[in-house]
Chain A
Amino acid sequence: MTAVEFKHISKQFKNSAYPALNDVSVSIEEGEFVTILGSSGCGKTTMIKMINRLYESDSGDIFLFGRNIRDEDPVQLRRRIGYVIQQVGLFPHMTVAANIAIIPKILKWDKARIKDETDRMLRLVQLDPDEFRDRYPAQLSGGQQQRIGLARALISSPRIMLLDEPFGAIDAINREMLQNELKAIHESSKRTYLFVTHDIREALKLGTKVIIMNEGRILQYATPNEIVENPADDFVRNLLSTAELKGGA
């Protein structure tokens, strides 16, 4: 099944000289872990923020599991989409457990289920529930905060996760660990992940497929191996050579 389909999506921001997205069409199958790679300003963040309607397109349509997102209430739509951002955005006045349970509470799950699922999520992101449940975000390291950010997005088992450079501000060692854990979580869930990054190694390591973008266009959408072996054009070739990945990832 197709999870996300972009049909001729264009978007121009008012204060920008060129379009953030220029007639983008792409179809993403359910269960893929798609990394979206590009330099800043290439439109990669714009692309995922359109799926949960934080941005609206100027023209074109986006279908999520076959339904045009324009026909849905944005608030309801977002509750079915996991969303993780680089700055994490945990609410400092709420405990870890309260942060994770925000959407379940809004959806009026019963208390026992919220507690069970919160603990399960904490274990899923490798944090001991008894130790972390009642902490405040100020008492967590950057890596731990982003783990909570993931748990918060995963708790309602969304069919699709949007991740906007989630590990961009995390040190190399923790980032490596988080990447491995996220990959494992994806593999066990078989949900669809869209993961924005400007780190080519991260993109090739995590993605079952990679979208390479430049100046609002998709240059290549293929598996990591295909990209390394058959770069679509000079831009992609250059990108690979900067990471010294040519000839094998």
Chain B
Amino acid sequence: MIEEIIAYFQKSGGDYLSLLWGHIYISLISVAVAMVIAIPLGILVYRSKITSMIAERGFGLLRIVPSLAVLIILIPIMGTGVLPSVTALTILAIPPILINTVQAFRNLPPAMLEAANGMGMSPVQSFFKVKLPLAFPLMFAGIRTAAIEVIASATLASYIGAGGLGDLIFTGLSLLRYSLLIIGGGSVALLSLLTGLLLDSIYKRLTRYQRASK
């Protein structure tokens, strides 16, 4: 088994790297598109309880539909390849980012907002200098959740021809080559883990101010 794995890397190292890159690429695009949709939407709806609920529930419902089902439903509309995969993964990534954005802005400490207002910040200044930075940690936690879910689910994108590490897993399944299953599955697991660690360290760096050590 170990020889087979080594042999695979010796023979197809280049293929592996392009599959790995494909996986990262699809995941990155999906999370980025989800951020571009979910963050402004969250900021738009958070002021009212009703609109926040509609947005949260709406995208929450979409998330209940399994990603595989979304992928297959999208085939007749978008065909196969990267576009339907990114669409399905974006739908998966929006709810955690949206919900956390809404919650982050709804729970800003009133004293900070009063201080910002009372000292004479304009609405735009208080948004960029106070609200957004204070909402950031919770928003970032949502992005982290979304990123890890997307990396795991991007495996399914191979199913409709979008490439990525899922290719290795599906090939391994159909040929019953366990070495490919281990390489594919292990890589996805490792990629999720590393992404989690990377985002955690960025989070810690950016929120260092919260900890009371000198």
Partner of A91, one of B112, B122, B213: B112
> In the bound complex, do residue A85 and residue B119 qualify as a contact, i.e. CB atoms below 8 Å apart?
no
Does A40 touch B at the CB level, under 8 Å?
no
- Contact residue among A85, A88, A106, A162 (Cβ-Cβ distance under 8 Å from B125): A106
A89 to B111, CA, bound (A): 5
Cross-chain contact of A106 among B121, B130, B134, B213 (Cβ < 8 A): B121
Nearest Cβ distance between residue B120 and chain A, in whole angstroms?
Answer: 3
B209: which of A54, A93, A102 is its contact (CB, 8 Å)? A93
Assess the B130–A91 pair: CB atoms within 8 A: yes
Docked-complex contact B129 and A102, CB < 8 angstroms: yes
What's the minimum C-beta distance from B213 to chain A, rounded to whole angstroms?
Answer: 8
A225 near B: Cβ within 8 Å?
Answer: no
Q: Assess whether A79 is in contact with B210, with CB atoms less than 8 Å apart.
A: no
Report the count of interface residues on B (CB-CB < 8 A). 23
Q: Does A78 contact B (CB under 8 A)?
A: yes
Question: In the docked arrangement, what's the CA distance between A103 and B209, Å?
Answer: 21
Interface residue total, chain A, C-beta cutoff 8 A = 30
A85-B111, A93-B134, A106-B125 in contact; A138/B211 too (CB < 8 A)? yes
Distance A162 CA – B214 CA, assembled complex (angstroms): 32
Which residues in A have their C-beta under 8 angstroms from that of B171?
none
The distance in angstroms between the C-alpha atoms of A99 and B210, with both chains bound, is 15
Whether A22 sits at the interface, judged by CB under 8 Å, is no
Q: A135-B214, A139-B214 are in contact. Are A92 and B209 (CB under 8 A)?
A: yes
CB distance from B37 to the nearest CB of A (A): 26
Q: Does A76 belong to the interface (CB within 8 Å)?
A: yes
Q: Is A213 an interface residue (CB 8 A)?
A: no
- B117, B119, B210, most chain A CB atoms within 10 A: B119
Look across to chain B and name the residue whose beta carbon is closest to the beta carbon of A83. Answer: B118
Q: A136's closest neighbor in chain B, by CB?
A: B209
Q: Lowest 8 A-B CB distances belong to which pairs?
A: A89-B115, A87-B111, A78-B120, A79-B120, A83-B118, A136-B209, A89-B111, A138-B212
**Chain A interface (Cβ < 8 Å from any Cβ of B):** 52, 54, 75-81, 83, 85, 87-94, 102-103, 106, 135-139, 152-153, 162
Can you list 17 residue pairs at the A/B interface with Cβ under 8 Å? Answer: A54-B114, A75-B120, A77-B120, A78-B117, A78-B118, A79-B120, A81-B120, A88-B111, A90-B115, A91-B115, A92-B134, A92-B209, A93-B134, A102-B119, A102-B121, A103-B120, A106-B125
